[in-house]
């Protein structure tokens, strides 16, 4: 290729890669197609991770974008993983040769028209959603409730063959499912940039499917999804009850698993609890590895707070960290939000960071937490604490080992909820309100006299209130 005026200079490496890509295109599409469509392409240059290819006409450009651009890009990525996209530019028409009157050829040429560049968007980037740069394995704090899920996620991220398929992550809101999925995607992108990793929400999957249906282009939709190496679909509970999306998702899922591609799914509940999902799909989702992310423990919350405070570059007194860890227990998103509020407040007003300040700033959040305790929760916490069964709370058994914990539970209901004595009695096997009153008095007395009861109550209250 003769470099033209204005042509971007091209290094030898990229020239060699272009020759290899051309050879592969020729082998793949045959001589005729190659001569007609691909031979007229020239290498224009390199802009960071994007190769610019020039074409003689707009028509050829559009044809290439529609039929070959994606293949050129993926061949190029296979030759050089650093290349992530290609762009096609129409070459300015060559100026007609102007006979030089004096033989010097100094006649000024018209400036070449600015080439109109059409970016051939990476269809896989369009398919997925973007990844949050903060969501990596490095920023994820590991603790008992999530260690299994993290280990599974790391296995997937570090393996070239699916170690289990699918990996199904589930857990309540704000416990780190999305964070872990992004972490897997980042890690694979770093380790194996040529693998096509697509991350998207089930909602976006549905939206794309519906659009394909509307545009009568389900074939491309299918082809695109089936050529992915790692497919991650977040919040699949979203497609419960949406029949045709489910169906399509199931086909995509099976096609990818058959081809040995990795699938990672998340949901807010386990596969068996996904009602509104067809039975065969539900059972299929549970075939791989199902990893639960459990609600956070006090230790994990403390660890997360320490890590976030470090990242924010602020010193947060231990008492404040402990206060937040024991009071904001619902999920990590709220915990982060609470820490941010406190940090911003102290930065803005220059007040010292104390527990009193936290109580003040987070009043709404804390109140919402305290309100959340229900009689059911109290009963469950008490039976777990004493190793009893839930039925013991409403039974008529009077043995001390059952009766005392029952009284503790009634006392806690009086302390932690706004329920009346008759309402509480009803929940304990229809007991009379005087029985509840007696229990409350009894435990109040024991609280003073019996260190074991006092400790039990403290543990239970901390667990229930956070």
Shortest distance, position 177 Cβ to Mg ion, whole Å: 5
Segment 90-149, which members bind Mg ion (CB under 5 A)?
A: none
Tally the residues of the chain: 466
Q: Which listed option, ligand ADP, Mg ion, none, makes contact with residue 304 (CB within 5 to 8 Å by class)? A: ligand ADP
Establish how many alpha carbons lie within 13 A of residue 223's alpha carbon, considering only the half-sphere containing its beta carbon.
Answer: 7
Is 346 a binder of Mg ion (CB under 5 A)?
A: no
The C-alpha angle 18, 21, 26, rounded to 5 degrees, equals: 125
| Options 54, 77, 178, 208; binder of Mg ion; rule CB under 5 A | 178
Chain position whose Cβ is nearest to ligand ADP: 176
**In terms of Cα–Cα distance, which of 113, 116, 90 is closest to 5?**
113
Interface contacts to ligand ADP, rule CB under 6 A? 135, 139-141, 146, 171, 173-179, 304, 332-333, 336
Size of the site for Mg ion (CB under 5 A): 2
Q: Which listed option, Mg ion, ligand ADP, none, makes contact with residue 378 (CB within 5 to 8 Å by class)? A: none
112 vs 337, beta carbon nearer ligand ADP: 337
Q: Which listed option, Mg ion, ligand ADP, none, makes contact with residue 397 (CB within 5 to 8 Å by class)? A: none
Shortest distance, position 278 Cβ to ligand ADP, whole Å: 24
- Element of type H or E holding 42: strand 42-47
Q: Which phi and psi (to 5°) does residue 255 adopt?
A: -60, -40
Establish how many alpha carbons lie within 13 A of residue 288's alpha carbon, considering only the half-sphere containing its beta carbon.
Answer: 25
178 vs 245, beta carbon nearer Mg ion: 178
- As given in the structure block, the two tokens for residue 100 are 């030089």
- Element of type H or E holding 138: none
289 vs 304, beta carbon nearer ligand ADP: 304
Segment 308-337, which members bind Mg ion (CB under 5 A)?
A: none
CA distances from 312 to 181, 182, 349 (A): 23, 21, 17
Eight-class DSSP state of 462: H
Establish how many alpha carbons lie within 13 A of residue 282's alpha carbon, considering only the half-sphere containing its beta carbon.
Answer: 14
Q: For residues 397, 399, 400 and 406, what is the CA-based torsion angle, rounded to 10 degrees?
A: -10
40 vs 143, beta carbon nearer ligand ADP: 143
293 vs 410, beta carbon nearer ligand ADP: 293
Q: Which listed option, Mg ion, ligand ADP, none, makes contact with residue 176 (CB within 5 to 8 Å by class)? A: ligand ADP
177 vs 242, beta carbon nearer Mg ion: 177
Q: Which listed option, Mg ion, ligand ADP, none, makes contact with residue 311 (CB within 5 to 8 Å by class)? A: none
Q: Which phi and psi (to 5°) does residue 90 adopt?
A: -80, 130
Q: Which listed option, Mg ion, ligand ADP, none, makes contact with residue 54 (CB within 5 to 8 Å by class)? A: none
Q: Which listed option, Mg ion, ligand ADP, none, makes contact with residue 404 (CB within 5 to 8 Å by class)? A: none
DSSP codes of every residue in 353-368: --HHHHHHHTHHHHHH
Q: Report how far residue 285's alpha carbon sits from residue 301's, in angstroms, rounded to the nearest whole number.
A: 30
Shortest distance, position 340 Cβ to Mg ion, whole Å: 19
Shortest distance, position 146 Cβ to ligand ADP, whole Å: 6
1 vs 368, beta carbon nearer ligand ADP: 368
184 vs 443, beta carbon nearer Mg ion: 184
Q: Which phi and psi (to 5°) does residue 166 adopt?
A: -85, 170
Shortest distance, position 304 Cβ to ligand ADP, whole Å: 5
Shortest distance, position 336 Cβ to ligand ADP, whole Å: 6
What count of other Cβ atoms lies within 10 Å of the Cβ of residue 145? 19
CA distances from 266 to 176, 246, 321, 335, 450 (A): 10, 15, 30, 22, 47
Give the binding site for Mg ion (CB under 5 A): 177-178
């Amino acid at each position: 290729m003769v470099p033209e005026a204005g042509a971007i200079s091209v290094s030898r490496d990229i020239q060699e890669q272009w020759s290899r890509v051309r050879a592969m295109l020729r082998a793949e599409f045959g001589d005729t197609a190659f001569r007609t469509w691909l031979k007229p392409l020239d290498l224009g240059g390199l802009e960071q991770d994007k190769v610019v290819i020039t074409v003689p006409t707009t028509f050829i450009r559009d044809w290439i974008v529609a039929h070959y651009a994606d293949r050129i890009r993926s061949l190029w990525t296979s030759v050089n993983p650093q290349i992530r996209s290609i762009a096609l530019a129409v070459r300015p028409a060559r100026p007609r040769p102007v006979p030089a009157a004096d033989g010097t050829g100094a006649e000024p040429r018209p400036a070449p028209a600015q080439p109109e560049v059409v970016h051939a968007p990476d269809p896989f980037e369009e398919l997925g959603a973007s990844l949050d740069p903060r969501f990596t394995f490095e920023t994820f704090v590991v603790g008992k409730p999530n260690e299994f899920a993290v280990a599974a996620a790391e296995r997937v991220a570090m393996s070239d063959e699916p170690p289990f398929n699918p990996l199904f992550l589930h857990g309540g809101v704000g416990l780190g499912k999305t964070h872990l999925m992004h972490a897997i995607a980042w890690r694979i992108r770093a380790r194996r940039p040529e693998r096509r990793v697509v991350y998207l929400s089930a909602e976006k999957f549905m939206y794309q499917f519906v659009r394909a249906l509307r545009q009568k282009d389900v074939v491309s939709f299918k082809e695109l999804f089936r050529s992915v190496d790692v497919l991650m679909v977040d919040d699949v509970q979203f497609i419960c009850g949406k029949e045709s999306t489910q169906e399509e998702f199931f086909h995509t899922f099976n096609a990818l698993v058959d081809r040995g591609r990795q699938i990672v799914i998340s949901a807010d509940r386990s596969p068996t609890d996904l009602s509104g999902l067809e039975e065969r799909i539900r059972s299929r989702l549970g075939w791989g590895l199902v990893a639960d992310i459990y609600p956070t423990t006090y230790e994990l919350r403390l660890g997360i707070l320490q890590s976030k405070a470090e990242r924010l570059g602020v010193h947060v007194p231990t008492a404040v960290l402990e206060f937040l860890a024991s009071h904001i227990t619902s999920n990590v998103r709220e915990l982060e939000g609470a820490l941010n509020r406190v940090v911003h407040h102290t930065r803005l007003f220059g007040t010292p960071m104390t527990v009193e300040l936290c109580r003040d700033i987070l009043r709404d959040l804390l109140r919402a937490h305290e309100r959340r305790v229900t009689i059911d929760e109290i009963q469950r916490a008490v039976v777990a604490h004493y190793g009893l069964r839930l039925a013991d709370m409403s039974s008529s058994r009077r043995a001390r080992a059952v009766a005392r914990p029952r009284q503790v539970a009634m006392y806690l209901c009086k302390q932690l909820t706004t329920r009346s004595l008759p309402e509480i009695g009803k929940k304990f096997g229809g007991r009379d309100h005087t029985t509840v009153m007696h229990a409350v008095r009894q435990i109040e007395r024991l609280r003073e006299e019996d260190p074991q009861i006092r400790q039990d109550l403290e543990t239970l209250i901390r667990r229930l209130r956070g």
